[in-house]
Amino acid sequence: MIVRFVDANRAEFGVEPVCAALQAAPSTYWTSKRRPPSARALRDAELMPVLLDLWEANYSVYGARKLWIAARGSVTCSV
């Protein structure tokens, strides 16, 4: 979350001043930018289109619990 905020404001203020305002070390920002995506992030990116299609197929009214149940019963999604 901090990385996204710094990315959004670094053109205007720079990395170091934004990190100072957030009380975060600039080295933490740069380390997280170099780190590859986690297995969880990769899996989330893979499932997001499937879940979005499932949510839209159910009139965009399903909450997290019903969406999870529907995804577990779905043939196209191996959650």
User: Is 28 found in the same domain as 14?
Assistant: yes
Domain limits at 60? 39-73
2: left (phi over 0), alpha (psi -120 to 50) or beta: alpha
37-64: per-residue pLDDT in tens? 999 999 999 999 999 999 999 999 999 9
Q: Under a CB-based contact definition with an 8 Å cutoff, are residues 22 and 5 in contact?
A: yes
List the structure tokens of 78. Answer: 């191996």
Residues 6 and 25 in one domain: yes
- Specify the pLDDT at position 78: 52
Per-residue pLDDT reduced to its tens digit, 11-31: 999 999 999 999 999 999 999
Statement to judge: residues 21 and 6 lie in one domain: yes
Same domain, 45 and 26: no
Calpha distance 35→11 (Å, rounded): 21
- Are 17 and 30 members of one domain? yes
Report which residue type is found at 27. S
Q: How far apart are the first and last CA of the chain?
A: 26
Residue 78 lies in a domain: no
With respect to residue 14, please indicate whether it lies within any of the assigned structural domains.
yes
Query: What local confidence, expressed as pLDDT, does residue 79 receive?
Result: 52
